[in-house]
A = this chain, B = another copy of it.
Amino acid sequence: MNKDRDLEFLKMTIKMAEENVLSGHGGPFAAIIVKDGEIIATGVNSVTSELDPTAHAEIKAIRNACKTLDSYQLTDCDIYSSCEPCPMCLGAIYWSRPKRIVFAANKRDAAQAGFDDSFIYEQLKLPINQRKIETIEIMLDDKTLPFQKWNNYNSKIDY
């Protein structure tokens, strides 16, 4: 992918993010997914309009791209985002395994605009007993039974 095309796609996400705010649809974020030089999916933040806290731009774009490709993997795809992905979206990106991530604003810019991205990055680094949301690990004897079932299941589809 050449630098000009990167800039072109990234500027499109900025424009889409601005329009998403002005339409009242959701937060100031947008993402585009590109494969073989073609846009295969887009996504904009729609947390408040869809009442879905997971409806971030990248998550929406990943879901849309997977529908387009009829796959749960984004092999050889590039993800362009108007802003550095938050931990939720970065996790989703790793699970979908694209080739590259390109972004414009970073998590410090997002924090300055009032978004929790940096806070959540910091929380993930902490031991669970130091996190702001109370987090409890309960040791159950059968806690790994689902994994045992999984490993013994002959028809399983790895993901």
Contact = CB atoms under 8 A, between A and B. Distances in A.
Nearest to A119: B94
A28 to B, nearest CB: 3
Given A52-B63, A90-B87, A142 B14 contact: yes
Interface residues of A, number: 92
Interface string A97-122: 11111111110011011101001110
Given A120-B91, A146-B29, A149-B21, A54 B54 contact: yes
How many monomers of this protein are in the complex? 2
B72 A159 contact: no
Given A89-B91, A145-B14, A149-B28, A135 B104 contact: no
A11 B104 contact: no
13 contacts: A51-B71, A52-B63, A53-B74, A54-B92, A89-B91, A90-B91, A90-B124, A95-B116, A95-B120, A99-B134, A100-B134, A100-B135, A113-B144
